[in-house]
Each structure stands twice: as structure tokens, then as C-alpha cells.
Amino acid sequence: GLVVAEFADRPLPASETSEESAYKSKNETHERILFSEKFACPVSGFTIPEIEPRLFSFNNPFGACPTCDGLGSQRAIDENLVVPDDNATLRDGAVSPWAKSTSPYYSQTLEALGKVYGFKLGDKFKDLSEEAQQAILRGTGEREITFNYDDGLRSYK
């Protein structure tokens, strides 16, 4: 249930209070504050589970923040570091982590993506569609793209 507290200068007689509401006073502002016995916000609907000791255990993932898994930090991709110069072409190393690789894997991967998303390795990164850029930076999600990889010794599909 909800507890409604209206700040006043005096406690209310028992006849004026109920199990779900309580009134108190504070500086004659007549400020009204809602409290919930159900760990819920009556305005937004936000709820939390009942507080238990395991929520505070460093040894238990149950109490960990779902965003950072209790580590206090989060890994994220800085797209400006991955593609520092969006005027560069894919062939000329627009994708920085792959730019100096001597393996044909990355260029063959990009060629396969290009066939699906409609670009060539000679295109500037900034000229690629948003969908193509996100496929390069974040992957294709559930969409599978088949391509042939030839390392010079063998060919793989």
C-alpha cells in the first residue's frame, strides 16, 4: 500500500490516520510526500525487489548492477578511434584496427560485406550507408553472411 505523508506541525490523532497513510509536519510548507510499502514509485511505476542480504554481497552476482555486472565500469566502442578518418577508404585503412594487418581475412570480410551492403573497398567510409557502417563497426547481428576466405594455402567458406 501507499503511505502519504503531509508535513504539518502536529501528529494526527489515531482516528485521523490509517494503516496506509501518515501525516507529519515540516516548516509549514505543507509538502506532501508519498511512501510505498511495496518498494514502488506510484508516479512512474518503478519497482525494486524486497531488500535482502544477498543484494549487498560482493560474492553474489544477484546484487550486481545489470549494466556493469558489478564492476563499476563498462566497455564501450569509441567509433572515432576505430575509424579516425572517415575520409579514408576501406582499402586505405579507414578501419584502424585492421589497417596494418597483412592477413587477407579483413579485406575478404569487407568484400563480402560490400556485396551485401552495396559498397566497394575503394569507397570512403563516410560515403557508406549507415547500415553498412554499423555492420562494419558492430557486426550484422543475427544476419549471417557467407564468404570465402583464402589464406594462400587453403580456401575456407
Q: In whole numbers, what is the pLDDT of the chain averaged over residues?
A: 78
- The pLDDT value given to residue 58: 66
Question: Which residue would you say has higher pLDDT here, 150 or 78?
Answer: 78
Question: Which residue would you say has higher pLDDT here, 28 or 50?
Answer: 50
- The pLDDT value given to residue 135: 94
Mean pLDDT over residues 93-104, rounded?
A: 89
Report strand pairing: 149-150 vs 155-156: antiparallel
The structural domains of the chain, ordered by start, are 1-69 (no CATH), 79-156 (1.10.8.280)
- The pLDDT value given to residue 29: 63
14 pLDDT more than 60: no
Question: Which residue would you say has higher pLDDT here, 48 or 17?
Answer: 48
Question: Which residue would you say has higher pLDDT here, 113 or 59?
Answer: 113
